Structure 1
Protein backbone atom coordinates (compact mmCIF):
# COMPACT_ATOMS: atom_id res chain seq x y z
CA UNK A 1 0.00 0.00 0.00
CA UNK A 2 1.54 3.28 -1.10
CA UNK A 3 2.02 6.23 1.20
CA UNK A 4 -0.57 8.19 -0.79
CA UNK A 5 -3.26 5.49 -0.85
CA UNK A 6 -6.74 6.94 -1.01
CA UNK A 7 -8.67 6.16 2.18
CA UNK A 8 -12.09 6.25 0.50
CA UNK A 9 -11.49 4.44 -2.76
CA UNK A 10 -9.28 1.40 -2.60
CA UNK A 11 -7.80 1.57 -6.10
CA UNK A 12 -6.98 5.23 -6.61
CA UNK A 13 -4.07 7.14 -5.19
CA UNK A 14 -4.68 10.14 -2.98
CA UNK A 15 -3.61 12.58 -5.69
CA UNK A 16 -6.28 11.23 -8.05
CA UNK A 17 -8.88 11.45 -5.30
CA UNK A 18 -7.99 15.06 -4.53
CA UNK A 19 -8.01 16.05 -8.20
CA UNK A 20 -11.36 14.27 -8.54
CA UNK A 21 -12.64 16.25 -5.55
CA UNK A 22 -11.56 19.51 -7.19
CA UNK A 23 -13.28 18.50 -10.44
CA UNK A 24 -16.45 17.73 -8.46
CA UNK A 25 -16.31 21.14 -6.76
CA UNK A 26 -15.81 22.90 -10.11
CA UNK A 27 -18.67 20.98 -11.76
CA UNK A 28 -20.86 21.67 -8.71
CA UNK A 29 -20.10 25.37 -9.05
CA UNK A 30 -20.94 25.27 -12.76
CA UNK A 31 -24.27 23.52 -12.12
CA UNK A 32 -25.09 25.86 -9.23
CA UNK A 33 -24.20 28.86 -11.38
CA UNK A 34 -26.54 27.75 -14.18
CA UNK A 35 -29.29 27.24 -11.61
CA UNK A 36 -28.62 30.73 -10.21
CA UNK A 37 -28.84 32.24 -13.68
CA UNK A 38 -32.02 30.51 -14.81
CA UNK A 39 -33.67 30.15 -11.40
CA UNK A 40 -33.00 33.50 -9.76
CA UNK A 41 -36.72 34.23 -9.74
CA UNK A 42 -37.75 30.86 -8.30
CA UNK A 43 -40.43 31.09 -5.62
CA UNK A 44 -38.28 29.11 -3.19
CA UNK A 45 -35.64 31.86 -3.23
CA UNK A 46 -38.02 34.66 -2.22
CA UNK A 47 -37.11 34.40 1.52
CA UNK A 48 -33.41 34.60 0.62
CA UNK A 49 -33.97 37.62 -1.61
CA UNK A 50 -36.07 39.29 1.08
CA UNK A 51 -33.35 38.72 3.68
CA UNK A 52 -30.77 40.35 1.40
CA UNK A 53 -33.11 43.24 0.63
CA UNK A 54 -33.89 43.74 4.32
CA UNK A 55 -30.17 44.03 5.05
CA UNK A 56 -30.16 47.04 2.71
CA UNK A 57 -33.27 48.56 4.29
CA UNK A 58 -35.80 47.65 1.58
CA UNK A 59 -39.32 46.60 2.49
CA UNK A 60 -40.04 42.96 1.66
CA UNK A 61 -42.98 44.08 -0.50
CA UNK A 62 -40.82 46.34 -2.72
CA UNK A 63 -41.22 44.59 -6.09
CA UNK A 64 -38.70 46.80 -7.89
CA UNK A 65 -36.02 45.96 -5.34
CA UNK A 66 -36.93 42.27 -5.54
CA UNK A 67 -36.59 42.31 -9.34
CA UNK A 68 -33.25 44.08 -9.01
CA UNK A 69 -32.03 41.46 -6.52
CA UNK A 70 -33.12 38.65 -8.87
CA UNK A 71 -31.30 40.37 -11.74
CA UNK A 72 -28.09 40.61 -9.69
CA UNK A 73 -28.32 36.95 -8.74
CA UNK A 74 -28.77 35.89 -12.36
CA UNK A 75 -25.87 38.10 -13.40
CA UNK A 76 -23.66 36.68 -10.66
CA UNK A 77 -24.65 33.18 -11.79
CA UNK A 78 -23.37 33.92 -15.29
CA UNK A 79 -20.10 35.25 -13.84
CA UNK A 80 -19.78 32.16 -11.65
CA UNK A 81 -20.28 29.97 -14.74
CA UNK A 82 -17.23 31.58 -16.35
CA UNK A 83 -15.22 31.16 -13.14
CA UNK A 84 -16.26 27.49 -12.94
CA UNK A 85 -15.18 26.78 -16.50
CA UNK A 86 -11.85 28.51 -15.86
CA UNK A 87 -11.44 26.41 -12.73
CA UNK A 88 -12.12 23.22 -14.71
CA UNK A 89 -9.51 24.17 -17.33
CA UNK A 90 -6.91 25.00 -14.69
CA UNK A 91 -7.55 21.76 -12.80
CA UNK A 92 -7.08 19.85 -16.06
CA UNK A 93 -3.80 21.65 -16.83
CA UNK A 94 -2.52 21.26 -13.26
CA UNK A 95 -3.33 17.56 -13.27
CA UNK A 96 -2.10 16.83 -16.80
CA UNK A 97 1.23 18.63 -16.45
CA UNK A 98 1.64 18.33 -12.67
CA UNK A 99 2.37 22.02 -12.55
CA UNK A 100 2.66 23.27 -8.96
CA UNK A 101 2.16 26.88 -10.10
CA UNK A 102 -1.42 26.05 -11.13
CA UNK A 103 -2.29 24.68 -7.68
CA UNK A 104 -0.54 27.55 -5.91
CA UNK A 105 -2.24 30.08 -8.17
CA UNK A 106 -5.68 28.63 -7.51
CA UNK A 107 -5.04 28.64 -3.76
CA UNK A 108 -3.91 32.27 -4.01
CA UNK A 109 -7.06 33.25 -5.93
CA UNK A 110 -9.27 31.69 -3.26
CA UNK A 111 -7.27 33.25 -0.43
CA UNK A 112 -7.56 36.61 -2.19
CA UNK A 113 -11.33 36.26 -2.61
CA UNK A 114 -12.37 34.82 0.78
CA UNK A 115 -11.39 37.67 3.13
CA UNK A 116 -12.97 40.26 0.85
CA UNK A 117 -16.17 38.25 0.50
CA UNK A 118 -16.31 37.70 4.25
CA UNK A 119 -15.81 41.40 4.95
CA UNK A 120 -18.53 42.37 2.46
CA UNK A 121 -20.88 39.76 3.97
CA UNK A 122 -20.19 40.94 7.52
CA UNK A 123 -21.05 44.50 6.54
CA UNK A 124 -24.58 43.26 5.83
CA UNK A 125 -24.73 40.70 8.63
CA UNK A 126 -24.96 37.87 6.06
CA UNK A 127 -23.64 35.11 8.30
CA UNK A 128 -24.67 32.30 5.97
CA UNK A 129 -22.33 33.75 3.35
CA UNK A 130 -19.52 34.02 5.91
CA UNK A 131 -19.81 30.36 6.90
CA UNK A 132 -20.01 29.24 3.26
CA UNK A 133 -16.86 31.25 2.50
CA UNK A 134 -14.96 29.72 5.41
CA UNK A 135 -16.09 26.22 4.41
CA UNK A 136 -15.11 26.86 0.77
CA UNK A 137 -11.67 28.10 1.79
CA UNK A 138 -10.99 25.02 3.90
CA UNK A 139 -12.23 22.39 1.45
CA UNK A 140 -10.42 24.02 -1.48
CA UNK A 141 -7.21 25.55 -0.15
CA UNK A 142 -6.10 22.51 1.87
CA UNK A 143 -6.20 20.12 -1.14
CA UNK A 144 -4.68 22.76 -3.43
CA UNK A 145 -1.75 23.31 -1.07
CA UNK A 146 -1.30 19.54 -0.77
CA UNK A 147 -1.20 19.20 -4.59
CA UNK A 148 1.16 22.18 -4.85
CA UNK A 149 3.54 20.57 -2.37
CA UNK A 150 3.36 17.12 -3.99
CA UNK A 151 3.90 18.39 -7.54
CA UNK A 152 6.64 20.78 -6.38
CA UNK A 153 8.52 17.81 -4.92
CA UNK A 154 8.00 15.81 -8.13
CA UNK A 155 9.38 18.67 -10.23
CA UNK A 156 12.41 19.00 -7.93
CA UNK A 157 13.13 15.26 -8.21
CA UNK A 158 13.20 15.38 -12.02
Structure 2
Protein backbone atom coordinates (compact mmCIF):
# COMPACT_ATOMS: atom_id res chain seq x y z
CA UNK A 1 0.00 0.00 0.00
CA UNK A 2 2.83 2.39 0.92
CA UNK A 3 4.56 1.92 -2.44
CA UNK A 4 1.29 2.23 -4.35
CA UNK A 5 0.34 5.49 -2.62
CA UNK A 6 3.80 6.92 -3.08
CA UNK A 7 3.97 6.00 -6.76
CA UNK A 8 0.52 7.50 -7.31
CA UNK A 9 1.57 10.69 -5.56
CA UNK A 10 4.84 10.74 -7.52
CA UNK A 11 2.99 10.24 -10.79
CA UNK A 12 0.67 13.10 -9.83
CA UNK A 13 3.63 15.37 -9.12
CA UNK A 14 5.24 14.27 -12.34
CA UNK A 15 2.12 15.03 -14.36
CA UNK A 16 1.32 18.37 -12.74
CA UNK A 17 4.70 20.10 -12.57
CA UNK A 18 5.95 22.20 -15.45
CA UNK A 19 9.24 21.86 -17.26
CA UNK A 20 11.05 24.42 -19.35
CA UNK A 21 13.37 21.99 -21.14
CA UNK A 22 12.56 20.20 -24.34
CA UNK A 23 12.72 16.54 -23.47
CA UNK A 24 12.23 13.28 -25.36
CA UNK A 25 11.72 9.61 -24.52
CA UNK A 26 15.29 8.70 -25.49
CA UNK A 27 16.70 11.27 -23.04
CA UNK A 28 14.48 9.95 -20.25
CA UNK A 29 15.24 6.28 -20.99
CA UNK A 30 18.97 7.06 -21.00
CA UNK A 31 18.64 8.89 -17.67
CA UNK A 32 16.85 5.90 -16.11
CA UNK A 33 19.35 3.37 -17.48
CA UNK A 34 22.30 5.45 -16.27
CA UNK A 35 20.65 5.99 -12.89
CA UNK A 36 20.13 2.27 -12.27
CA UNK A 37 23.68 1.46 -13.40
CA UNK A 38 25.06 4.08 -11.01
CA UNK A 39 22.78 2.90 -8.19
CA UNK A 40 23.94 -0.72 -8.55
CA UNK A 41 27.57 0.45 -8.65
CA UNK A 42 26.98 2.66 -5.58
CA UNK A 43 28.54 5.52 -7.56
CA UNK A 44 26.76 8.88 -7.67
CA UNK A 45 29.50 10.31 -9.88
CA UNK A 46 28.36 8.01 -12.72
CA UNK A 47 25.26 10.16 -13.37
CA UNK A 48 24.93 13.91 -13.93
CA UNK A 49 23.46 15.30 -10.71
CA UNK A 50 22.44 18.95 -10.47
CA UNK A 51 24.24 21.11 -7.92
CA UNK A 52 20.87 21.87 -6.31
CA UNK A 53 19.74 18.21 -6.25
CA UNK A 54 16.76 17.37 -4.03
CA UNK A 55 16.96 13.74 -2.87
CA UNK A 56 14.53 11.98 -0.54
CA UNK A 57 14.13 8.38 0.51
CA UNK A 58 10.85 7.37 2.11
CA UNK A 59 10.17 11.05 2.72
CA UNK A 60 13.50 11.79 4.42
CA UNK A 61 15.86 14.34 2.82
CA UNK A 62 19.33 12.89 2.26
CA UNK A 63 22.56 13.62 0.47
CA UNK A 64 23.23 11.76 -2.78
CA UNK A 65 24.97 8.49 -2.00
CA UNK A 66 23.18 7.90 1.30
CA UNK A 67 20.46 5.36 2.06
CA UNK A 68 19.68 2.78 -0.62
CA UNK A 69 22.61 4.05 -2.70
CA UNK A 70 24.80 2.08 -0.29
CA UNK A 71 22.87 -1.23 -0.36
CA UNK A 72 21.23 -1.51 -3.81
CA UNK A 73 21.89 -4.73 -5.66
CA UNK A 74 20.83 -6.35 -8.92
CA UNK A 75 17.73 -5.03 -10.67
CA UNK A 76 15.44 -8.03 -11.16
CA UNK A 77 12.66 -6.21 -13.00
CA UNK A 78 11.67 -2.62 -13.73
CA UNK A 79 9.09 -0.64 -15.65
CA UNK A 80 8.95 3.07 -16.31
CA UNK A 81 6.55 5.92 -16.88
CA UNK A 82 8.06 8.70 -18.99
CA UNK A 83 6.70 12.24 -19.09
CA UNK A 84 8.31 14.34 -21.81
CA UNK A 85 6.20 17.38 -20.89
CA UNK A 86 7.74 17.65 -17.41
CA UNK A 87 11.01 15.83 -18.22
CA UNK A 88 10.48 13.33 -15.46
CA UNK A 89 10.14 9.62 -14.86
CA UNK A 90 8.64 7.18 -12.39
CA UNK A 91 10.02 3.65 -12.18
CA UNK A 92 8.76 0.65 -10.24
CA UNK A 93 11.31 -2.11 -9.76
CA UNK A 94 12.27 -5.24 -7.90
CA UNK A 95 15.84 -4.94 -6.69
CA UNK A 96 18.00 -7.21 -4.57
CA UNK A 97 19.23 -5.89 -1.24
CA UNK A 98 21.37 -8.25 0.82
CA UNK A 99 20.04 -11.12 -1.31
CA UNK A 100 16.38 -10.27 -0.70
CA UNK A 101 13.84 -8.72 -3.04
CA UNK A 102 12.62 -5.23 -2.26
CA UNK A 103 10.03 -3.18 -4.10
CA UNK A 104 11.62 0.05 -5.22
CA UNK A 105 10.01 3.15 -6.62
CA UNK A 106 11.98 6.10 -7.93
CA UNK A 107 10.94 9.41 -9.41
CA UNK A 108 13.55 11.34 -11.39
CA UNK A 109 13.29 14.90 -12.67
CA UNK A 110 15.75 16.37 -15.17
CA UNK A 111 16.62 20.05 -15.44
CA UNK A 112 17.29 22.07 -18.60
CA UNK A 113 20.85 20.65 -18.76
CA UNK A 114 19.55 17.06 -18.53
CA UNK A 115 21.04 16.75 -15.07
CA UNK A 116 19.00 14.92 -12.44
CA UNK A 117 17.57 17.66 -10.23
CA UNK A 118 15.16 15.56 -8.14
CA UNK A 119 15.32 11.98 -6.90
CA UNK A 120 12.61 10.42 -4.78
CA UNK A 121 13.05 6.84 -3.55
CA UNK A 122 10.21 4.84 -2.00
CA UNK A 123 11.20 1.42 -0.69
CA UNK A 124 9.11 -1.49 0.59
CA UNK A 125 10.92 -4.32 2.34
CA UNK A 126 9.53 -7.67 3.49
CA UNK A 127 8.60 -6.37 6.95
CA UNK A 128 6.30 -3.76 5.37
CA UNK A 129 2.53 -4.18 5.35
CA UNK A 130 1.21 -5.82 2.16
CA UNK A 131 4.71 -6.53 0.81
CA UNK A 132 4.10 -8.61 -2.33
CA UNK A 133 6.99 -8.57 -4.81
CA UNK A 134 5.22 -11.24 -6.87
CA UNK A 135 2.52 -8.64 -7.56
CA UNK A 136 5.10 -6.45 -9.29
CA UNK A 137 5.90 -9.35 -11.61
CA UNK A 138 2.25 -10.24 -12.31
CA UNK A 139 1.84 -10.85 -16.09
CA UNK A 140 -1.31 -8.72 -16.26
CA UNK A 141 0.81 -5.63 -15.68
CA UNK A 142 3.90 -6.44 -17.75
CA UNK A 143 2.82 -4.37 -20.77
CA UNK A 144 1.92 -1.16 -18.91
CA UNK A 145 4.54 0.74 -20.95
CA UNK A 146 2.80 0.11 -24.28
CA UNK A 147 2.02 3.26 -26.25
CA UNK A 148 -1.75 3.59 -26.53
CA UNK A 149 -3.50 4.92 -29.60
CA UNK A 150 -5.05 8.39 -29.24
CA UNK A 151 -8.48 6.78 -29.01
CA UNK A 152 -7.39 4.59 -26.07
CA UNK A 153 -5.72 7.39 -24.10
CA UNK A 154 -7.21 9.33 -21.23
CA UNK A 155 -6.59 13.05 -21.28
CA UNK A 156 -3.83 14.49 -19.10
CA UNK A 157 -6.50 16.30 -17.05
CA UNK A 158 -8.40 13.03 -16.49
CA UNK A 159 -5.23 11.26 -15.32
CA UNK A 160 -4.38 14.09 -12.92
CA UNK A 161 -7.94 14.02 -11.56
CA UNK A 162 -7.76 10.24 -11.05
CA UNK A 163 -4.43 10.54 -9.21
CA UNK A 164 -5.85 13.34 -7.04
CA UNK A 165 -8.94 11.26 -6.22
CA UNK A 166 -6.79 8.26 -5.31
CA UNK A 167 -4.47 10.35 -3.13
CA UNK A 168 -7.44 12.05 -1.41
CA UNK A 169 -8.68 8.64 -0.20
CA UNK A 170 -5.62 8.41 2.06
CA UNK A 171 -5.31 11.94 3.43
TM range (shorter): under 0.3
Q: Higher relative contact order by CA 8 Å / sep ≥ 6: 1 or 2?
A: 2
Which structure's CA Rg is the greater one? 1
TM-score, with normalisation over the residues of structure 2? 0.25
TM-score, with normalisation over the residues of structure 1? 0.26
